[in-house]
Amino acid sequence: MSYKRDEAILVVDDVASMRQVIKGCLNQLGFFSVDEACDGNEALAKIRDRKYAWVLSDWHMQPKGGAELLEHLREEFGDDAPPVVFLTMDGDWKVMSSARDLGAVRLIVKPMRPSALKASIENVLKTAA
């Protein structure tokens, strides 16, 4: 799996300031087609309307969190579901194991400085290339 800088990316987080930080990091990496959603429900609606190269999503959100989002994506889109990278404040091995079992590309633990987030995203891109 590889990513092209002109492909659309969806950032999903219930905290608007976190979405802006993530979007800024993606812009610094050359990704400018970045949409936002505040939870899993809004993300699903956007994914039904537009094809995304990948999704960068928070794990803990209400009413539909990251795990539920990924489960719905797999059910509805199967192998055509966009790859998902999770962000979470929960570094617990159970969360990491659940994310992996659900098919997440990676799990990035927050909080982090924008420079660390940028490095993590770059690492995901290198791994996928």
The pLDDT tens digits for 20-40 are: 988 988 888 888 999 999 999
Please answer whether residues 62 and 39 qualify as being in contact, where contact means their C-beta atoms are separated by less than 8 angstroms: yes
Summarize pLDDT for 69-104 with one digit per residue, the tens.
999 999 999 989 998 988 887 767 777 788 888 888
Residue at 47 is within a domain: yes
pLDDT band (50, 70, 90) for residue 3: low
Give me the percent of the chain exceeding a pLDDT of 70. Answer: 91
The pTM of this model reads 0.87
The more confidently predicted of residues 97 and 68 is: 68
Residue at 1 is within a domain: no
Whose CA is closest to 124, among 40, 53, 44?
Answer: 53
Residue at 108 is within a domain: yes
- Coil vs helix vs strand at 39: coil
Q: CA dist 127 to 16, 41, 67, 120, Å?
A: 28, 29, 22, 11
The β-bridge partners of 57 are: 12, 86
Residue at 3 is within a domain: no
Question: How far apart are alpha carbons 76 and 93 in whole angstroms?
Answer: 27
Chain position carrying tokens 């400085």: 113
User: How many structural domains does the chain have?
Assistant: 1
pLDDT band (50, 70, 90) for residue 127: low
23's tokens = 């979007």
The more confidently predicted of residues 97 and 48 is: 48
CATH number for the domain including 23? 3.40.50.2300
What is the pLDDT, as a whole number, of residue 119?
A: 76
Domain that holds residue 67: 9-128
